[in-house]
Amino acid sequence: MNKAEFNTAWSALHGGAEIKGVVKTWLAISYSSAKVVSTLRFSPNFLTLLGLVFAIAMAVNPLSLWTIPLLVLSLYADGIDGSVAIYQNRSSSFGAILDSVADRISEALWFYVAYRIGAPAWMVLVTYVIASTQEYARARLGGLGIDDVGVVTPAERPVRASFIFIALVAYALDLKLVVAALAVLFVLQLWSFFLVARFAHNRLRNDFSA
C-alpha cells in the first residue's frame, strides 16, 4: 500500500476527515511506522496489547524514571495500531473494540501514575472521567451513524499523554509543576468535553429535524 492509498483509507475510516496540519504530519509518521512494523510482522492487536503492557509497567513502579519512556512507548504502540491495521488491510470490529478498551485502561493507569507523583486525587479522577465520557460520546455517535470526526479538541488523547509526560519530567527534576500541569489539562479537558457535547447536540438536532 502506498502513502496515497493509506491516506485515502484512513480518511474513509474517519468519516472523510481532511488530511492537513497536525493530522497530515501524524499520518506521515504513522505510515512510515506501519511499514517498519509490518516488516517485523507485528499485528495491530499485538501493538494494542503492547501499549497496554507498557502502561501496566508504568503503574507497577510509578515513582521510577522509567515511567517517562514507558509512557512514550505506550502512546506510540497504541497510536500506530490503527495505522498498521490499515496498512495490512486487517481492520476489524474486534480490533476496534480491543483498541477502545485498551485505551481506557491505559489512560486510567497513566492518571494513576500522575496521582502517585503528586497530582490531587479529585483532579485526576474528574479529568479521567470527563475524558472517558468524551470518548464514549464519540463512540455512541458512531453507533448512531455519525462517523465524521466532528471536532478536534484541545485535549485529545495525545495531548492528555503530553501533559502527563510534562508532569513526569517535572517530578523527575524535582520541579513543583505536577499540580500545575494537571490543572491545565483539567481545564482543557472541560473545554474539550463542551466542544464535543456541542457538536453532538447540533448534529443530532439537525438529523432529527431533517
CA distances from 114 to 131, 168, 169, 195 (A): 15, 7, 11, 25
pLDDT in tens, the chain (210 residues): 888 888 888 777 766 667 776 667 778 888 888 889 889 888 999 999 999 999 999 999 999 999 999 999 999 998 888 888 888 888 888 888 899 899 999 999 999 999 999 999 999 999 999 999 998 888 787 777 666 656 778 888 889 999 999 999 999 999 999 999 999 999 999 999 999 888 888 877 776 555
Give the DSSP H or E segment for 12.
helix 3-13
Q: Give residue 197's pLDDT.
A: 87
Q: What is the DSSP string of 131-159?
A: HHHHHHHHHHHHHTT--S-----TT-HHH
DSSP letter at 117 equals T
pTM: 0.88
Q: How many domains does the chain have?
A: 1
**Residues spanned by the domain of 156:** 3-209
DSSP letter at 64 equals S
Q: Give residue 183's pLDDT.
A: 97
Q: Give residue 144's pLDDT.
A: 72
Q: Give residue 185's pLDDT.
A: 97
DSSP letter at 120 equals -
Q: Which of 89, 91, 90, 84 is nearest to 31 (CA)?
A: 84
Rounded Cα distance between 97 and 8, Å, is: 22
| CATH at 192 | 1.20.120.1760
The C-alpha cell at 153 is 479538541
